Chain A
Amino acid sequence: MTATVPPKAPTFLGLPTAPRGVGHLRGDQSFPDAARTALRDGQLRANLGHATTTIRNKRAKVVGEVADWEQLRAAGKALKAATMAHLDEHLEELERQVTARGGTVHWARDANEANEIVTRLVQATGTGEVVKVKSMATQEIALNEALEAVGIEVFETDLAELIVQLGEDKPSHILVPAIHKNRAEIREIFARTIPGVDPGLTDEPRQLAMAARKHLRERFLRARVAISGANFGVAETGTLTVVESEGNGRMCLTLPETLITVMGIEKVVPTWRDLEVFLQLLPRSSTGERMNPYTSTWAGVTPGDGPQEFHLVLLDNGRTAVLADEVGREALHCIRCSACLNVCPVYERAGGHAYGSVYPGPIGAILSPLLTGVEDNASLPYASSLCGACYEVCPVAIDIPSILVHLRAEHVEAQEKTTAEAVAFRALAKVMSNPRLWHLAQRASRLGRLLSRGRPTLPNALPPPISGWTRSRDLPTPPTSTFVEQWTREHRSAK
């Protein structure tokens, strides 16, 4: 690896947040700028609109079938909150149990440490290539890039993740990383990048799936090392769990000799029974299925069956700092179902790339700034109209709108220099808490009438920040009198 010292890591409440210069948690543009470009992409808008509407309706249907859905949600939330309150103990128990069953546990403080550990483990096997199960944690730390930097070839095996990898693209959705691509675009990527692909390949879903299957089959059979994430890690039994639809994950988890799992520390659950709740909540919220086709669970190693070497890398990368935030810590309850993305009107229009992080949509708008420290992702908490659709569907009832509002305040309160906005809001607060000043200010707003010169609306071209409104919307001309003023005048004279 390179010898450059990574830039000094930012901290929150004295705890390290995810370090800069590694991983995919920070974008290079603010959300409004990135969204402005994305909004002009008609193909993207059509693809996303179509895909999110389909999943949204599927989810609503299967969730509607469950009579005790609200109780299940409450149970999921309670289990997560109780687990987070004793996270350290559950993690140590997980370590004991994994170790007792022949696995090895590694603790990674951040993305750099995790990448180093995994790279070292892969190199020790002497192999030059690895197959991967779809995993958000490894995307977060940019593990693929770290492995490729030392000459190890990485093959994503999840179909959507493969599309992204072959297209040299970035994931734009937690569950369906290639949601921004349609079938015709996928056909083009496959035809261009898969060696020896049938030149007559069409965009028929089955043909596309078969082309990917043929391409992947060879990799599965020859791979000696697989890398995965984990949906859940059960402390009492040391069991890791991966939930998927395609079976490609199952191939990776069973065929190679060595399995390396990178798991965020918040994925631990205390008992096997807890899965009862989460395995009901997750598939219905995520793919809109009653049950997902493949749920793989394993504990340590089993002689003569499956991988004979198992490593679990427990990743912090800012999570402890998130846990220290009383309001924000709920974001760690996320089970990555992506329901909040699919219902979000902002996500549906701007797309996942506009968030600049592997975690897009409503959960990304809180989790990314929480992991990096809010100043490194300061525009994300504002990337929401606070409509509340995310909170309504979240299977573990994370109050995303309240956390967004909290992070906005954290951002405002972190400013050392006074901004023009702060000056305006502070002045307005003074005015709005003093009735006499408030009435004067309301009267002053009537000066707007001079601008409209008798027309019912104000002119379109006004200076910022009002231009943000008037570029696309008319602003009514202020009335000659406020309600309170008129009411008070009329009712005083009659008394």
Chain B
Amino acid sequence: MKVALFATCLVDTMTPSVAHATASLLQRLGHEVVVPPTQACCGQMHVNTGYRREAVSIVANHVRAFAGAEAIVSPSGSCVASIHHQQADVARRAGDETLARDAEELAGRTHELSQFLVDVLGVTDVGAYYPHRVTYHPTCHSLRLLKVGDRPLRLLREVRGLELAELPGAEQCCGFGGTFAVKNADTSTAMLTDKMANVLSTHAEICTAGDASCLMHIGGGLSRLRAGTRTVHLAEILASTEEAVTPHQSTKPAVSRPTTPAVTA
């Protein structure tokens, strides 16, 4: 299958390794990956902060960038949820019915990574190797808006060498919430502290999730505490293989990065 990858603005700019891992994983599974170069953002941050009018042109750019794509995959539950639940509404409210319909149509072909793997490709064993103790945080938008359910856990259980530690209070929000983390920094931090206490109680080396944004928040907190546990995106774990392991690996995901053009297997 030819898969268009939507990296999301945050991953693209701040944690490109997550997008590289997603591409590498999909290629390993035998799919052709394309990266539309004019992609930018889904508009979620604008909508959720109150700038829904301003978000219309961002949505329009997104729809243009991915026009004609057969399937679109993104390593972010939250951005996919926004594409599914907000983009068309925002366009419709602004009176742009054509854009609303195009956005709806595009949303129908847009998948969150774990849902794409399990539901569309029908795989749970992606052939990954990651010999570490890992705990999984189900991010709110993956859990409640996209209803990814136990798909990420099913994928993780098949990863060789991986020891899965159950996270207490897993379904409680980590406190990120986009601009909430800044506008209500104190409450956000209080929520983060409780999340980190639960993460640390598992003695996991790694806390993983399907959203780079929540992981940047949890990881930023853990890093500030100089905790031993760090955060790694689900895509990076699933993309890790034994072949790519290097002598100084530690918990850094072992992802081979193909530099030749992607070919359909």
Contacts and interface: CB of A to CB of B under 8 A. Distances in A.
Interface of A: 31-32, 35-36, 39, 345-346, 349-350, 381-389, 391-392, 405, 408-413, 421-422, 425-426, 428-430, 432-435, 438, 442, 445, 457, 460, 465-466, 468-469, 471-476, 478-479, 481-484, 486-488, 490-491, 494-495
B223 A457 contact: yes
Contact of A482 (B16, B172, B179): B16
Contact of A39 (B35, B54, B173, B186): B186
B38 interface: yes
Contacts of A484: 7, 12, 19, 35, 37, 39
A32 B184 contact: yes
Given A389-B144, A429-B54, A433-B57, A472 B224 contact: yes
Interface stretch (B100-108, B120-128, B187-195, B240-248): B187-195
A385 B188 contact: yes
A432 B58 contact: yes
Contacts of B11: 483
Interface string B220-232: 1101100000000
B186 to A, nearest CB: 5
Given A411-B50, A445-B13, 12 more contacts: A345-B191, A386-B48, A389-B144, A405-B52, A421-B49, A475-B220, A479-B17, A484-B12, A484-B35, A490-B259, A491-B35, A491-B261
Contacts of B221: 472-474
Nearest to A437: B40
Interface string B172-189: 110111111111111111
Contact of A474 (B58, B194, B224): B224
Nearest to A431: B40
Contact of A468 (B140, B182, B190, B259): B182
A36 to B, nearest CB: 5
A384 B224 contact: no
Nearest to B33: A487
Residue among B51, B65, B192, B261 having the largest count of chain A Cβ atoms under 10 Å: B51
Contacts of B187: 32, 35, 39, 346, 349-350, 383
A495 B37 CA distance: 15
A441 B172 CA distance: 34
B216 A385 contact: no
Contacts of A429: 46, 51, 54-55, 57-58
Given A388-B144, A408-B49, A488 B35 contact: yes
A495 B183 contact: no
Contacts of A432: 9, 40-41, 43, 57-58, 61
Question: How big is chain B's contact interface, by range?
Answer: 35 or more
24 contacts: A385-B173, A385-B177, A389-B144, A408-B49, A409-B47, A409-B51, A425-B46, A429-B57, A432-B9, A432-B40, A433-B57, A433-B61, A435-B39, A435-B65, A469-B220, A472-B185, A483-B19, A483-B20, A483-B35, A484-B19, A484-B35, A487-B19, A491-B262, A494-B259
Contacts of A491: 35, 261-262
A409 B57 contact: no
B109 interface: no
A371 B199 CA distance: 40
A222 B258 CA distance: 85
Contact of A471 (B15, B172, B185): B185
B141 interface: yes
A478 B13 contact: yes
Contact of A388 (B16, B145, B183): B145
B23 interface: yes
A483 B61 CA distance: 18
Contacts of B13: 442, 445, 478, 482
B14 A468 contact: no
Given A31-B184, A468-B183, A433 B51 contact: no
A92 B69 CA distance: 56
B260 interface: yes
Contact of B16 (A383, A392, A428, A483): A483
B53 interface: yes
B57 A382 contact: no
Interface in B47-83: 47-55, 57-58, 60-61, 65
B111 interface: no
B35 to A, nearest CB: 5
Contact of B53 (A36, A388, A413, A490): A413
B84 interface: no
A476 B14 contact: yes
